Copies of this chain bind each other. A is one copy, B any other.
Amino acid sequence: MASSRTLVDDERFRIVEWTIEPGDAIEMHTHALDYAVLPQEGAVMWAVLPDGSELEVPLVPGEAYTRAAGAAHRMENRGAERIVFTEVESKR
């Protein structure tokens, strides 16, 4: 299991720091809100989509990416180092 720490949850944003240890995953979920990911540690994450297809997601600390609401996936850490990123969801 991955672990999470909620930094902010207010009327504007929800901001959560996620940690995925090697071999662990964030279970399948669908994003209800647009979100940004700010990687802190780790090199790559694997996204497993509802149809079973897989996508390699590079994680570059100091960079960021965004996705639209509706994205659905399980996020896996298949590497040897832990993954840490901050997720910023926009509520309005």
Contact = CB atoms under 8 A, between A and B. Distances in A.
Interface size class of A (residues with CB under 8 A): 20 to 34
Task: Report which residue of A8, A13, A36, A65 has the largest number of chain B beta carbons within 10 angstroms of its beta carbon.
Answer: A36
B36 A15 contact: yes
A83 to B, nearest CB: 16
The count of identical subunits is: 2
Label chain A's interface by main secondary structure. Answer: strand
Contacts of A92: 34, 90
A86 interface: yes
A8 B64 contact: yes
A36 B87 CA distance: 11
Contact of A13 (B7, B62, B90): B90
